[in-house]
Amino acid sequence: MKKIRTAIFGALVAAMAFGATAAFAQETLYLYGPGGPYPAMREAAAAFGQARGAHLEVTAGPTGKWLDKAKGDADLIFSGAENMMTDFVKAMDGRIDEASITPLYLRPSAILVRPGNPRGIKGVTDLFKPGLKVLVVQGAGQNGLWEDVAGRKGDIRSVKALRGNIVAFAANSAEAKSLWTERTDIDAWLIWNIWQVANKDLASLVPTEKDYTIYRDCGVALTRQGKEKPLAREFVAFLQSKEGAAIFAKWGWLTDAPR
C-alpha cells in the first residue's frame, strides 16, 4: 500500500512539474527586429522578464536572417524607422496587427569618426570638403538618410559634395560596421548616434549640427498571435514606462523632445 501511495505521489509531483514547465513555456515571448535598437530592446526584455518571471527571446539582425522564423512564432516586431516598420508589415504577410504599431523613441543622425578624430571633423559641413572619404548606409532604417541630411538646407551643392565623397554604400548597419573595420581609409561614417554608444572603442562621435540633424524612431508592434497574450501587451506598456525609457536613454535614444 505504501508503495502504491509513493507511486501516486511521485506521479503527482511529476505532473505538477510538467504543468509548471508548460506554464513557463506559455510565458515565453519572441521578439524580432533590426540590430540598431537591439542593445536597448535586449536590456528592456531582460528587465521585464526578470520582474515578471518570464522569458523574452530577442532576435536581431538583417531581416532575411530571421523573417521565416518570425512568421512562425513572433509575438512582437520592433523596427528602426517608420519606413522599416511599414516594410515589416508587408514582409510578415498580414501577421502584424497594424493598429498596435507604437512609435517609442527617436535617435539622431551622427557622424562616427576614427578614435580621437584625426581628421578634425566638426560636423556635416566638413563632410562636404573634397578629399574626405565617407561611408553611408542605403537600406534598412537609413534609406535616404545621407540625402536627407545633405539636403536639409535646400542646397543642391551640398548633396553633390557629399555624394562625391561617399566611397561605400552599405546595405545595412551591420555591413557598414564591417566595412568601417576593414577599410581603415574611410574617414567618417554617417549613421545614428546609438551605434557609437554600443561600440565606443570602434569610433568617436561627432554630433550633426542641429540644422542638419535627422531623427528616426524605434517602434514596436504586436503580431496577431502576440495580441492575444497579456504578457506581450504588458511588455509594450513597459517599453513606454519610466523604467523602459531609462533603459533606452542609456543606449542613446531620446526619451524627451530635443531642446
Looking at residue 208, the DSSP 8-state letter turns out to be: P
| pLDDT in the model for residue 257 | 59
With 0-12 / 13-18 / 19 or more C-beta atoms within 10 angstroms meaning exposed / middle / buried, residue 12 is exposed
Looking at residue 209, the DSSP 8-state letter turns out to be: P
For residue range 187-206, what is the model confidence (pLDDT) as tens digits? 999 999 999 999 999 999 99
CA distance 80 to 142: 9
Q: For the chain of 259 residues, list the mean pLDDT of each consecutive stretch of 10.
A: 47 43 64 96 97 96 95 97 96 97 97 97 98 94 94 97 98 93 97 93 96 97 97 98 97 80
pTM tops 0.75, yes or no: yes
State the alpha helices, DSSP H only, in the chain: 2-26, 38-52, 63-73, 82-91, 124-127, 145-150, 156-165, 173-182, 194-198, 224-227, 230-239, 242-250
- SS3 of residue 228 by DSSP: coil
For residue range 8-29, what is the model confidence (pLDDT) as tens digits? 444 444 444 444 444 444 489 9
CA distance 10 to 7: 5
Which set of grid coordinates corresponds to residue 83? Answer: 519606413
| pLDDT in the model for residue 13 | 40
Share of the chain above pLDDT 70, in %: 89
